[in-house]
A and B are shown apart, each in its own frame.
Chain A
Amino acid sequence: MTSTAPKPSGGLPVRLLVVVLVAVVLDALASLQIARASLGWLPVPASTAAPYVDGLFQVEVGIGAFIFLGCTGFILWAVIFNRAEKYDESDGLPIEGNPKLEITWTLIPFVLVMVLAYQAIHVSETLAALGPKEKYDLESGSSPTTVERPDVRQSYGPIQVLARQWNWEFVYPNGVRSSELHLPIDQRANFQLSSEDVIHGFYVPAFRLKQDIIPGSVISYSITPTREGRYRLRDSHFSGAYFSQNQTDVVVQSADAFQAWLDQAARSPLVPGLSQATGLYADRLAKGDKGWATVKPAPPPMVNDPGTPDAPHEA
């Protein structure tokens, strides 16, 4: 059966080429603007890891915006210019494919995603070098004492991070206990993350880092804060009834201010620490224990510094 439609072969018309070229340039310019704006969509960067994560994110937003705008623009173009007239029952161009084009649009995305994967692995390994991480199984008896690697950067710790349903407790090498996490700026802080009950997530958006805390193991973990300020530390892994209340603050201070806080805290008596769930659970009991089942919140930890939960945080 012969077709009356024009053959697609025989060279693309110049007008079409110009339109495509203009579209690609506009798409690229718009994507560049979006990629520039995308850093503003993230909290302030406050750790050595943050610039790497943000850089990768920005590249991905740029490429993603280019593809999204390109495809959506193409669809809109087709919908506007290739609409059938109301009583037009005829068929479109009977093009069944174009092997060269199909191979091209298989290969280009392949190369693109492999470059992205390479970039992601590279950043991932950079992050691992910035903040080494090891998981130790409590059962097998291995211990996390060998965490500190020789490194030029000054480091601090280890700080014990204890996660519970639903409060956080931080224990410093000198024995100080705190409900808020105080860290000296520009020093690598080493942590030992452990959970007494279920899986929790150690997540500070300003640091761009997140680590699940697995009961039954201790995870040694490190972060280097680079910006003074008060940031939110959120439990990122669903941990039961009062999960959303399991948040506290991280306070990044100058080395002197940090030392002053540590000395001050060491002299302070132990008081009940921050535990929003305790109050909410008491309210629930006062109202007749309505709602669905929950385990009892762990009692508030006894700490030297219960913190100032109402202080405004930056991110």
Chain B
Amino acid sequence: MTSTNYDPRVLKALHPVPGAPDNWKRFFTFNTDAKVIGIQYIALALFFLLVGGLLAMVMRGELITPPADLVDPTVYNGLYTMHGTVMLFLFLFPILNGFNNLLIPTMIGAPDMAFPKVNAAAFWLVPVFGVVLMASFFVPGGPASSGWWSYPPVSIQNPLGHFINGQFLWILAVALSGVSSIMGAINFVTTIIRMRAPGMGFFRMPVFVWTAWAAQTLQLVGLPALTGGAIMLLFDLSFGTSFFRPEGGGDPVLYQHFFWFYSHPAVYVMVLPVFGIFSELITVYSRKPLFGYKFVALASFVITFLGLIVWVHHMFYSGTPQWMRNIFIVTTMLIAVPTGVKVFAWLGTLWGGKIRLTTPMLFVLGGLVNFILGGITGIMLGTAPVDIHVGNTYFVVAHFHYVIFNTIGFGIFAGIYHWFPKFTGRMYYEGLGKVHFLLTFIGATLNWLPLHWAGLYGMPRRVASYDPEFAIWNVIASIGAFMVGVAAIPFILNIVSSWARGAKAPPNPWNAIGLEWLLPSPPPAENFEDDVPTVISGPYGYGLGQPLVEDEEYYVRRALEA
């Protein structure tokens, strides 16, 4: 097979956007190069990580003592709502789309995404709704303060009665975020299905591509439910309808179904690509093939399917009937199986490997240990009787931060370090990276491990003040949170100074297998241009002695000479 299986016309464009600048200024333009867009996503997301983190620092400052003394309770409620919203919609989704943009085309040998202009438009929606959301801090009455769930009726109370209020802007921002995500999802799925290099069958795709595909499929299926729910909420809030308003005959619990039908799968949208990152990095830094590659790849879609039928476990105490609880206990338990397959496969890959504890590998191993803990507490929350005690307490907060920060966040940091040389053309500083890892791991453990006990003992989540018996767990948690905050300093220092003056990166600094490592660092605008390699073996041939592509020496030499 020598011909490419995508439209050859896409190769004709010599420059992503003719006349676009080729220096740093391109990051501030409507550039259609997926690699530029990827970096735009990641940089903007990291900025919002700082914003969301700053909100968290104020929250932990408030919670270090039992009474509500640092800020007014209304301010605390706004802070925790915006913390969750910023972290999910402006940090996690955008940064993972950044990875998708950088990695999907380069890993499958495509010159760009299927729809470059849609891709750029999807990115530029992010700063737009970011501004909308940030503007809500300055409207009368302050930002949305009903939690990132925005459950009615509390979310539609609108105390001041203004048409433009924090909740209104929040719904607008979330709806725009949904539009952006759908534009991204269509693009990623099409690119993966239609634009793979010759010879790259589905079972020769790297696991990251599998997980991105599974995750983006979830976006396409789930997002319409959230968007529909959000629009009805907007109508209830602003135009006096009664979809969810009990006094008009509406049902507030209906909203919860709309919300969780998307928002539980949303967790898998975020964690699946991180499973992909784990699979890519554990193989490189153990120098072994991925144990049971096909099982790991297929497990991604089993997670997608099961992820769509577990949402009611968020509503065990909302007045759901017994039969419904029973069904969702079973589906929730089942999702442990494909997840377990992945975890065991990573352990099997480590066994007998040649493990190298670089910064990215440290973040992967730390993230893996955290994920096992977060997965186990997830199982506990899936069993209704235990959930009825610990649901809506700090046990849940601890559980999902173990997944969202201690696993997904760690995977993101690992990915940033691992692919930093590839896409910036510079090496990062290993020492600063290790300081970043140590501070983050110790801080995150101090922050979220003790909060499990606060929750078991009955401390509700979302409180601005609490009974004194919970003080000890909260003091430790706040100290840990401040450590995580301090850990941002070596990270930023590393990224900024490495990019500005780090050592020049070779095409394949980690001696890794993968199409992206056959490209120069950084790759040219159209990746392999009109010389796309033909893939002849699976993605993780460490120790197997087979070349990945035909004429591998030619591509290696070409990347070195570039």
Q: Are A244 and B463 in contact (CB under 8 A)?
A: yes
**Which of chain B's residues has its CB closest to A239's CB?**
B154
CB-defined contacts of A82 to chain B, threshold 8 Å? 286, 350-355
Interfacial residues of chain B within 275-320, with CB under 8 A of chain A in the complex: 286-295, 317-319
CB-defined contacts of B293 to chain A, threshold 8 Å? 96-97
CB-defined contacts of B317 to chain A, threshold 8 Å? 201, 210-212, 236
CB-defined contacts of B294 to chain A, threshold 8 Å? 97
Q: Does B51 contact A (CB under 8 A)?
A: no
Q: Are B75 and A92 in contact (CB under 8 A)?
A: no
Q: Does A32 contact B (CB under 8 A)?
A: no
On whether A292 and B72 interact (CB within 8 A), knowing A198-B154, A215-B153, the answer reads yes
Q: Are B154 and A84 in contact (CB under 8 A)?
A: no
CB-defined contacts of B145 to chain A, threshold 8 Å? 241, 292-293
| Among B107-115, B387-395, B552-560, the stretch in contact with A | B387-395
Interfacial residues of chain A within 113-160, with CB under 8 A of chain B in the complex: 113-114, 116-117, 119-121, 123-125, 127-128, 133, 135, 138-139
The tally of residues in A whose CB lies under 8 Å from a CB in B reads 99
CB-defined contacts of B334 to chain A, threshold 8 Å? 110, 113
Q: Does B432 contact A (CB under 8 A)?
A: no
Which listed residue (A203, A291, A292) contacts B392, Cβ 8 A? A203
On whether A116 and B383 interact (CB within 8 A), knowing A53-B389, A292-B145, the answer reads yes
CB-defined contacts of A197 to chain B, threshold 8 Å? 153, 157
> What is the interface of chain A mostly: helix, strand, loop, or mixed?
mixed
CB-defined contacts of B380 to chain A, threshold 8 Å? 57, 60-61, 64
**Which of chain A's residues has its CB closest to B321's CB?**
A135
**Which of chain B's residues has its CB closest to A74's CB?**
B347
**Which of chain A's residues has its CB closest to B283's CB?**
A92
Q: Does A21 contact B (CB under 8 A)?
A: no
Q: Are B393 and A236 in contact (CB under 8 A)?
A: yes
Q: Are A60 and B383 in contact (CB under 8 A)?
A: yes
A119 CA to B340 CA in the complex, in Å? 20
On whether A238 and B462 interact (CB within 8 A), knowing A75-B365, A216-B246, the answer reads yes
Q: Are B456 and A284 in contact (CB under 8 A)?
A: no
A89 CA to B544 CA in the complex, in Å? 14
Q: Are A124 and B458 in contact (CB under 8 A)?
A: no
Q: Does B333 contact A (CB under 8 A)?
A: yes
**Which of chain B's residues has its CB closest to A78's CB?**
B350
**Which of chain B's residues has its CB closest to A79's CB?**
B355
Q: Are B140 and A293 in contact (CB under 8 A)?
A: yes
Q: Are B322 and A128 in contact (CB under 8 A)?
A: yes
Q: 0/1 per residue, B69-101, Cβ < 8 Å to A?
A: 001111101100000000000000000000000
Interface hub of B73, B352, B541 (most chain A Cβ within 10 A): B73
Q: Does B529 contact A (CB under 8 A)?
A: no
| Among A100-108, A170-178, A256-264, the stretch in contact with B | A100-108
Q: Does B252 contact A (CB under 8 A)?
A: yes
Q: Are B466 and A92 in contact (CB under 8 A)?
A: no
A210 CA to B393 CA in the complex, in Å? 11
**Which of chain A's residues has its CB closest to B343's CB?**
A71
CB-defined contacts of B462 to chain A, threshold 8 Å? 238, 243-244
CB-defined contacts of A235 to chain B, threshold 8 Å? 460
Q: Does A214 contact B (CB under 8 A)?
A: yes
Q: Does B368 contact A (CB under 8 A)?
A: yes
Q: Are B544 and A124 in contact (CB under 8 A)?
A: no
Interface hub of A75, A78, A241, A290 (most chain B Cβ within 10 A): A241
Q: Does B269 contact A (CB under 8 A)?
A: no
Q: Are A75 and B350 in contact (CB under 8 A)?
A: yes
| Among B14-22, B371-379, B487-495, the stretch in contact with A | B371-379
A98 CA to B349 CA in the complex, in Å? 11
CB-defined contacts of A105 to chain B, threshold 8 Å? 340-341, 344
Q: Are A93 and B353 in contact (CB under 8 A)?
A: yes
Which listed residue (A119, A124, A315) contacts B326, Cβ 8 A? A124
CB-defined contacts of A267 to chain B, threshold 8 Å? none
Q: Are B357 and A79 in contact (CB under 8 A)?
A: yes
Give min CB distance, B410 to chain A, whole Å: 14
**Which of chain A's residues has its CB closest to B249's CB?**
A139
Q: Are B72 and A290 in contact (CB under 8 A)?
A: yes
Q: Does A311 contact B (CB under 8 A)?
A: no
Q: Does B337 contact A (CB under 8 A)?
A: yes
| Residue contacts A-B, CB under 8 angstroms, 22 given | A3-B545, A42-B389, A64-B379, A82-B286, A96-B544, A102-B345, A106-B340, A114-B330, A120-B386, A121-B384, A127-B388, A212-B319, A216-B250, A232-B467, A236-B392, A236-B393, A240-B154, A247-B467, A292-B143, A293-B141, A293-B159, A294-B159
Interface contacts beyond A97-B294, A216-B250, A291-B73: sample of 9 additional A-B pairs, CB < 8 Å, sorted by A: A83-B355, A90-B354, A106-B341, A120-B384, A127-B388, A203-B392, A212-B317, A238-B461, A292-B145
Q: Which 6 A-B pairs have the closest CB atoms?
A: A216-B246, A205-B458, A292-B142, A293-B141, A291-B72, A91-B543
> B residues engaging A (CB < 8 A)?
68, 71-75, 77-78, 140-143, 145-147, 151, 153-154, 157, 159-160, 165-166, 246-247, 249-253, 286-295, 317-319, 322, 325-326, 329-330, 333-334, 336-337, 340-341, 343-345, 347-348, 350-357, 365, 368-369, 372-373, 376-377, 379-380, 382-386, 388-389, 391-393, 453, 456-458, 460-467, 511, 541-546
